[in-house]
């Protein structure tokens, strides 16, 4: 428990000395913050130090006790003033009590124990008042937070869900937004490479990351006229304001880079003039944010910028035939194929008003052609190891920017082609071939590396090293890929439930199955099934 601070004010040195020394203040939780000869000196101390109890004389030079008490009431109303008076000061004592003094003491007849008891009583009052005030602040904060959360929930709903005009009017009757309903824009702000930022774990939690980013954005938003900012989903925020310009967004981008060490991209809608259009403004801003796919991290784009079209098409590519891919595997013509791939990316890159999903579809089409060539080569696609910890379907479906996909995909194709070439005439040693056969025959069981090692007569570590050396893949990764290949086929049959497929490919826990499927395919099993049947 903190000390109760006491200030002694009297023009007589002996009185001040006796008040300081005849009472064991510190033993009872008090702290003497200073002593003053008059009201002027007392005010100087009060400006510097927190004070709970003031023991003050009435008659003093320069500024007497009455004026001091009046000044204290105005500036420090929580402080308790106790009058030190003489017998003939009764009229002044009455004035002091009317001004707000809480008690008085006769200087010539004071008893240390009596003054200590008075101060202990005041000490208790101070603590009770501080606790009551703290509870008021806590209650006010809770109410403010509830009001804020309710307003954020309302605004989030208006931005992300279709609302009828009647529903809108009922919902916004008492709502007060920090922007004009007759003139506003919506910006969608997204943390670039959000999953990577989370994996780095610099912020220890998604909540702390969101809190940090929101604080930075809000601080700058206030400097540019204010508005509403809410978190829409992990790493994505919506700003609705009457004034959203490039200077403010540039400032936000610089500030998040400097203070949070992250990059953000922004898409901004046109100006709207009716709350019923919040949903339209939000989805327009999201559409504009898609330019990040072509322009890269840190993009700031406006819907009313010249040349923007939300319905633009995209370049259609002529996927190489099986013969072209086979030449790449043979090493006879790598450069022409890779050059053609680079040409496609170059054409896509300049179409920053296109739909990224159309480009992803083209790239998936490219990948299917690659798989067909692999099958003709006798090397199953799922036998290829991961590259830089990722798999092609995941990168194509979830890569944030075209450049990210280009860099990863060209590297993966070169490495995969090299693996296929090297393994063209490779004959696995009998033990490794036996392990491969086990995986393909028993993938639906609880197959373990330790069991496979015993069955071929090798130590587990030795088998793991040898398998990777000969196949280029870890045993567990190869087993997972085979299981996922089987799962893809089973998901095309609507007769099977997801948990049944999980068990059919060797996973007792459907959550683990979904996690591994997502890592390789880039989508969860149910999403994959919906894509197949749409």
**67 neighbors 39 (Cβ within 8 angstroms):** yes
The predicted-structure confidence for 235-288, as pLDDT tens digits, reads as follows 999 999 998 999 999 999 999 999 889 999 999 999 999 888 999 999 999 999
Q: Is the pLDDT of residue 90 over 90?
A: no
Give the C-alpha separation, 151 to 420, whole Å. Answer: 58
Percentage of residues in the chain with pLDDT exceeding 70? Answer: 89
Q: Is the pLDDT of residue 478 over 80?
A: yes
CATH number of 4-132: 3.40.50.2300
More confident residue, 324 or 361: 361
Instruction: Select the CATH number that applies to the domain covering 430-533 from these four: 1.10.10.60, 2.120.10.30, 1.10.1380.10, 3.40.50.300.
Output: 1.10.10.60
More confident residue, 201 or 71: 71
Q: Is the pLDDT of residue 138 over 50?
A: yes
Q: Is the pLDDT of residue 504 over 70?
A: yes
**405 neighbors 363 (Cβ within 8 angstroms):** yes
Of 71-85, 184-198, 216-230, 300-314, give the lowest mean pLDDT range.
Answer: 300-314
Compute CA distances 325 → 14, 25, 199, 357, 395, whole Å: 103, 90, 35, 25, 20
Give the C-alpha separation, 3 to 33, whole Å. Answer: 11
Choose among 14, 22, 107: nearest CA to 58. Answer: 107
* Count of other CB atoms within 10 angstroms of residue 444: 13
The predicted-structure confidence for 361-420, as pLDDT tens digits, reads as follows 888 888 887 777 777 666 666 777 788 888 888 999 999 999 999 999 888 888 887 777
53-57 and 80-85 beta bridge pairing = parallel
Give the C-alpha separation, 362 to 150, whole Å. Answer: 43
Q: Which residues contact 163 (CB under 8 A, 6 or more apart)?
A: 157, 171, 276, 279
Please tell me the total number of residues recorded for the chain in this structure: 534
**What pLDDT is stored for residue 333 in this prediction?**
58
Give the C-alpha separation, 15 to 240, whole Å. Answer: 65
Q: What are phi and psi of 277, to 5 degrees?
A: -100, 10
Q: What are phi and psi of 321, to 5 degrees?
A: -75, 175
**What pLDDT is stored for residue 140 in this prediction?**
64
**What pLDDT is stored for residue 311 in this prediction?**
47
**What pLDDT is stored for residue 287 in this prediction?**
92
Percentage of residues in the chain with pLDDT exceeding 90? Answer: 41
**521 neighbors 532 (Cβ within 8 angstroms):** no
Of 64-73, 96-105, 446-455, give the lowest mean pLDDT range.
Answer: 96-105
The burial of 300, by beta-carbon neighbours within 10 Å (0-12 exposed, 13-18 middle, 19 or more buried), is given as buried
Q: How would CATH label the architecture of 168-302? A: 2-Layer Sandwich (3.30)
**What pLDDT is stored for residue 466 in this prediction?**
92
Q: Is the pLDDT of residue 110 over 60?
A: yes
DSSP 114-160: HHHHHHHHHHHHHHHHHHHHHHHHHHHHHHHHHHHHHHHHHHHHHHH
Give the C-alpha separation, 482 to 355, whole Å. Answer: 33
The predicted-structure confidence for 289-313, as pLDDT tens digits, reads as follows 999 999 899 999 999 875 555 444 5
Summarize the confidence of residues 16-36 as an average pLDDT: 92
Summarize the confidence of residues 455-471 as an average pLDDT: 90
Whole-number mean pLDDT of the chain? 85
Of 56-70, 409-423, 467-481, 516-530, give the lowest mean pLDDT range.
Answer: 409-423
DSSP code for 2 = P
For 19-37, b/e burial (b = at least 16 CB within 10 A) is: beeebebeeeebebbbbbb
Q: Is the pLDDT of residue 316 over 70?
A: no
**What pLDDT is stored for residue 471 in this prediction?**
81
The residue extents of the domains of the chain are 4-132, 168-302, 322-421, 430-533
**What pLDDT is stored for residue 6 in this prediction?**
94
More confident residue, 84 or 423: 84
**457 neighbors 430 (Cβ within 8 angstroms):** no
Compute CA distances 272 → 5, 333, 457, 500, whole Å: 57, 55, 73, 50
pTM above 0.75, yes or no: no
Q: Is the pLDDT of residue 36 over 90?
A: yes
């Amino acid at each position: 428990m903190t000390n109760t601070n006491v200030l002694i004010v009297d023009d007589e040195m002996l009185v001040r000395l006796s008040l300081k020394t005849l009472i064991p203040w510190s033993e009872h939780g008090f702290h003497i913050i200073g002593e003053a000869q008059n009201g002027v000196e007392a005010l100087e101390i009060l400006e510097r130090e927190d004070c709970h109890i003031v023991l003050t004389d009435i008659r003093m030079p320069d500024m007497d006790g009455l004026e001091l008490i009046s000044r204290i009431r105005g500036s420090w109303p929580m402080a308790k003033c106790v009058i030190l008076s003489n017998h003939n000061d009764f009229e002044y004592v009455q004035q002091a009590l009317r001004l707000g003094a809480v008690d008085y003491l006769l200087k010539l007849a004071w008893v240390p124990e009596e003054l200590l008891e008075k101060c202990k009583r005041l000490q208790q009052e101070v603590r009770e008042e501080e606790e009551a005030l703290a509870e008021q602040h806590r209650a006010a904060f809770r109410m403010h937070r509830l009001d804020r959360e309710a307003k954020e929930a309302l605004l989030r709903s208006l931005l992300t869900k279709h609302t009828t005009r009647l529903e809108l009017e009922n919902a916004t009757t008492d709502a007060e937004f920090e922007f004009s309903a007759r003139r506003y824009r919506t910006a969608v702000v997204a943390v670039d490479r959000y999953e990577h930022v989370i994996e780095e774990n610099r912020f220890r939690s998604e909540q702390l990351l969101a809190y940090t980013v929101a604080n930075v954005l809000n601080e700058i938003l206030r400097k540019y006229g204010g508005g509403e900012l809410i978190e829409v989903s992990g790493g994505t925020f919506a700003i609705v304001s009457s004034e959203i310009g490039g200077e403010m967004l540039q400032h936000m981008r610089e500030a998040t880079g400097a203070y949070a060490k992250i990059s953000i991209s922004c898409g901004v809608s046109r100006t709207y003039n009716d709350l019923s259009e919040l949903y339209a403004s939000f989805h327009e801003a999201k559409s504009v944010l898609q330019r990040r796919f072509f322009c890269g991290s840190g993009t700031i784009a406006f819907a009313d910028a010249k040349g923007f079209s939300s319905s633009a098409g995209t370049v259609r590519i002529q996927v190489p035939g099986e013969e072209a891919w086979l030449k790449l595997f043979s090493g006879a013509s790598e450069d022409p194929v890779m050059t053609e791939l680079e040409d496609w990316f170059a054409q896509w890159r300049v179409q920053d008003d296109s739909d990224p999903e159309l480009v992803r579809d083209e790239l998936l089409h490219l990948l299917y052609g690659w798989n067909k060539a692999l099958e003709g080569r006798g090397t199953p696609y799922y036998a290829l190891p991961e590259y830089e910890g990722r798999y092609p379907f995941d990168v194509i479906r979830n890569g944030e920017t075209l450049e990210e996909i280009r860099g990863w995909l060209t590297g993966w194709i070169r490495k995969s082609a090299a693996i296929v070439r090297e393994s063209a005439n490779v004959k696995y040693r009998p033990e490794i071939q036996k392990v491969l056969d086990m995986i393909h025959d028993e993938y639906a069981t609880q197959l373990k590396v330790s069991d496979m090692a015993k069955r071929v007569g090798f130590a587990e570590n030795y088998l793991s090293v040898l398998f990777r050396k000969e196949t280029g893949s870890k045993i567990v990764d190869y087993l997972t890929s085979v299981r996922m290949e089987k799962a893809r086929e089973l998901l095309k049959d609507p007769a099977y439930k997801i948990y049944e497929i999980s068990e059919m490919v060797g996973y007792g826990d459907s959550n683990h199955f979904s996690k591994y499927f997502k890592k390789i395919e880039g989508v969860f099993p149910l999403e994959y099934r919906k894509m197949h049947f749409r």
